[in-house]
Amino acid sequence: MTHVRVLGTGGTISSRFGSGLQGATASDGAARLVGEAGGGVEVRATDVLRTGSYLLTFADLRVLQRAVAAALADEDCAGVVITHGTDTMEESAFLLDLVHDSPKSVVLTGAQRTADSPAPDGPGNLGDAIVAAASPAMRDCGVLICFAGEVRSARGTRKARTWSLSAFDGGTVVATVRDRRLHSVAVPRRFPPLPAPGERFDRIRVEVVPCFLGAGPGVLAHVIDEGVDAVVLAGTGIGNAGLGFGEQVARATGAGIPVVLSSRVAWGPTVPVYGNGGGVDLVDAGAVASGELNAYQARILTALLVAAETPAGDFGDRFRSYI
What positions carry a catalytic annotation?
12, 86
Round to whole Å and give the CA distance between 293 and 274.
Answer: 20
The amino acid occupying position 139 is R
Round to whole Å and give the CA distance between 297 and 88.
Answer: 10
Q: Which helix (H) or strand (E) holds 206?
A: strand 206-210
Q: Which residues are annotated as a binding site for substrate?
A: 53, 86-87
- Residue 252: count of CB within 10 angstroms of its CB: 22
Q: Are 30 and 115 in contact (CB under 8 A)?
A: no
Q: Is 45 helix (H, G, I), strand (E, B) or coil?
A: strand
Q: How far is CA 47 from each of CA 9, 79, 108, 285, rounded to the nearest angstrom?
A: 6, 16, 14, 46
Biggest CA–CA distance in the chain, Å, is 63
